[in-house]
Structure 1
Amino acid sequence: MGHSSARSIKCLLQFKAASGIPSITIDKIGIFHPCSVAKSQHRPIQGPSQKMLQNPGDVIVADLIGPLPLSLDHKKYVLTIQDCFSHLTVAIPLINKAKAKGQLQNWMIQFANFSGYTIKVIRTDNGSELKNSIFEEFLRKNGIIHEYSVPYEHPQNGKIKRTNRTLSEISRTILVAANLPVNLWPWAFRHAVWIFNQTLHAESIKTPYELISKRVPSMDMLRVFGSKAYIHDHKF
């Protein structure tokens, strides 16, 4: 489960926020070397308090990470998008930064159609990759407010920055644990996002997946990243 903390797993079991997890007793988890290697960090900076959120879509935050090491499928960037109410998060690996605006616009349409909620605010930094006249016209037509954070002031867009750090830690950890090369980072990052959306976060006793889909997630399909898999050929 992406080397989730003991507290996180206990909460999933206690609140029955996910199915398919074996009944286990968790008292203490020791130091795990890949976690120590992958999760070292600077001292966090406290940001301003968040606005009160009532529904999914009230505030969406987006950020671009990169350039990253060139991946096996030629990706160098990853666009992360998060609904601040539910914490539902997506990560979209990109070949270049120019693809970010179109991918963000497509996701916003899909989110509104799938969830049934209207997006009210989209918050990004001042990077030019998420600013152009076509995207701004799309926002205007849909009544969506575009808020910008001050450059280099990460606390103003702290929620997505913290999520990016968490996802980066998980993806690095599972690559280290599986002894896999860094050029597989897009697959590790998407695996990290899947875990993030199926686990609990501080503000809720429901997972991001359940808050949007109204269904309790199942962990039955979860496998250790990097596990061997076999394909059954029906011709034989």
Structure 2
Amino acid sequence: MKGSKLETLYRSKLTALNDEVCTLDSKVDLWHNRLAHMSGKGLGILAKHGLIPISNSETLDARCSHCLIGKQHRSSFSKGSQRKTRVLEMVYSDVCGPMTTRTLGGCSYFVTFIDDYSRKLWAYLLKTKDQVYIIFKQFHVMVERESGELLKCVRTDNGGEYIGLFDQYCKEHGIRHEQSVPKTPQHNGLAERMNRTIVEKIRCMLSHSNLPRSFWGEALCASIPVINRSPTTILEGQVPEEVWSGKKVSYKHLRVFGCRAFAHIPKDERTKLDNKSRQCVLLSFGDDKFGYKLYDPKTKKITRSRDVIFFEEQTIKDFTSNVEVENGDREIVEYEIDDDVEPPTIDNNTSSGNAPSYTPSNDENQHETGDNEQSHEEGETSIEEPQSNILPSTNLRSSNRTRVPSSKYPPHEYVLLTDNGEPTCYQEAISLDDKEEWIDAMREEMNSLNKSNTFILVD
């Protein structure tokens, strides 16, 4: 410091301090209040640009009671616990529903189970939530037999379907049951997010297939194999099915849900002049053993077949006018079924005047040739006659039989879409994943017969 001497004193030039610095602490709080309780970070930015007269080094006291009252948020959730290292160490479960439209089988809910390690998904349709307990018991036995591992922990929300019998079953079998904190779905976030994924896929599939909303259950069942074959980030590009089973997965059997399909009619179900194929809609893709699950809109029945030709670019809207597609709840128009009157057999290819013309491709011509060859192998005789020998059409004779008025039934009386097919012989039954249940049923039936003495063993 330098100063000029003035007689016996030194005179220096100093700058007077502003009184604002003297009230620094109060200024921070004041500007915090003036700016509608702005955050400390915001105040620091304004001070840095010289817009408000406070020091950058000062921080706002975070314990402002008014800020706590008006702006307190829930504590953020950290990322979920580390992914498990073995299958069935942790399984997440959640129930979704009720849906505004029931399936044709009368279901309004579905329950999901997700393995944390493999991310494999299982889903089951439910009519009521209390069916979760029964489904879980079946799921428990199936996954343990399939994987060879024991189910150690299951995490659910606090829904009533997961308490009582469900919780008691877990305790009896040594399964740790973790329940999320009430009104905190983030604790079961994996299952919650999967429900959203499934519902979004169902919407897309129903929209593309032009099927009514009552088919959402079939769309659900068809989406599960696809999700289990979809690459997952947490699996570093692997697919859940492959991680779960340790085997390479196949995609060759997948087809477009709801597409037009021609299913071969077995020889014992038709006469010589009957059609050899029926037009259906694809509902789900099975394997080589049980084939494809198809819906016949004419008879409103479910069929299974391995011998199917698909037109994946077409939907039910392209080959039938008996389906009304509307915004909102769309319903299938019911057919009147008269059991007392047997209609004449007419070839669909000639009887429908509104049917669009179609030219088969080379592949289809080859397939038709194959059918002709198969017909000769089956012993059918193909006879070509000149047009002049064709008899003129005659009027159909009217029946004098008294007709009984037909009664209409709800759709689920004609078809149960939740049916996944049943084995037709012992070998099929013991080759299923739930073979133990079939064996138990056989034993129970045999015990009943033995107790009733209804038969005698003979040589």
TM over 0.5: yes
The whole-number CA distance in structure 1 between the counterparts of 2:183 and 2:209 is 34
The whole-number CA distance in structure 2 between the counterparts of 1:97 and 1:128 is 8
The whole-number CA distance in structure 1 between the counterparts of 2:80 and 2:87 is 14
The count of corresponding residues between Structure 1 and Structure 2 is 190
Choose which of 202, 210, 213 in structure 1 pairs with 2:233: 202
> Where does residue 88 of structure 1 map in the other structure?
120
The whole-number CA distance in structure 2 between the counterparts of 1:58 and 1:47 is 22
> Where does residue 109 of structure 2 map in the other structure?
77
Instruction: Name the CA shift for 1:113/1:48 in 2 (closer, same or farther; >3 Å).
Output: farther
Q: TM-score, normalised by structure 2?
A: 0.40
Choose which of 135, 147, 151 in structure 2 pairs with 1:103: 135
The whole-number CA distance in structure 1 between the counterparts of 2:133 and 2:266 is 42
For residue 161 of structure 1, report the CA deviation from its aligned partner: 0.7
The whole-number CA distance in structure 1 between the counterparts of 2:181 and 2:167 is 18
8 Å CA contact retained: 1:171, 1:191: no
> Where does residue 31 of structure 2 map in the other structure?
none
Of 86-95 and 202-211, deviating more is 202-211
Of 75-84 and 49-58, deviating more is 49-58
The whole-number CA distance in structure 2 between the counterparts of 1:106 and 1:47 is 33
Residues 1:162 and 2:198 aligned together: no
8 Å CA contact retained: 1:48, 1:156: no
Greater RCO, CA 8 A, separation 6+: 1
1:58-100 CA-partner distances (Å, limit 9, x unpaired): 1101111111121111111101111111110011011111111
Unaligned residue ranges in structure 2 (runs of 5+): 1-75, 271-459
SS at match of 2:264: coil
> Where does residue 49 of structure 1 map in the other structure?
79
For residue 136 of structure 1, report the CA deviation from its aligned partner: 2.8
For residue 135 of structure 1, report the CA deviation from its aligned partner: 2.9
SS at match of 2:224: helix
SS at match of 2:260: coil
1:190-234 CA-partner distances (Å, limit 9, x unpaired): 111111001111111321111111111111010011011222122
**Percent sequence identity over aligned pairs:** 29
The whole-number CA distance in structure 1 between the counterparts of 2:264 and 2:203 is 31
For residue 152 of structure 1, report the CA deviation from its aligned partner: 2.4
Q: TM-score, normalised by structure 1?
A: 0.77
The whole-number CA distance in structure 1 between the counterparts of 2:162 and 2:134 is 9
> Where does residue 171 of structure 2 map in the other structure?
140
Choose which of 95, 118, 140 in structure 1 pairs with 2:150: 118
> Where does residue 40 of structure 1 map in the other structure?
none
SS at match of 1:185: helix
8 Å CA contact retained: 1:112, 1:119: yes
The whole-number CA distance in structure 2 between the counterparts of 1:184 and 1:82 is 24
For residue 47 of structure 1, report the CA deviation from its aligned partner: 4.6
8 Å CA contact retained: 1:64, 1:80: yes
> Where does residue 203 of structure 2 map in the other structure?
172
The whole-number CA distance in structure 2 between the counterparts of 1:47 and 1:226 is 41
RMSD: 1.4
Choose which of 57, 62, 69 in structure 1 pairs with 2:93: 62
The whole-number CA distance in structure 1 between the counterparts of 2:131 and 2:173 is 21
8 Å CA contact retained: 1:58, 1:119: yes
> Where does residue 252 of structure 2 map in the other structure?
220
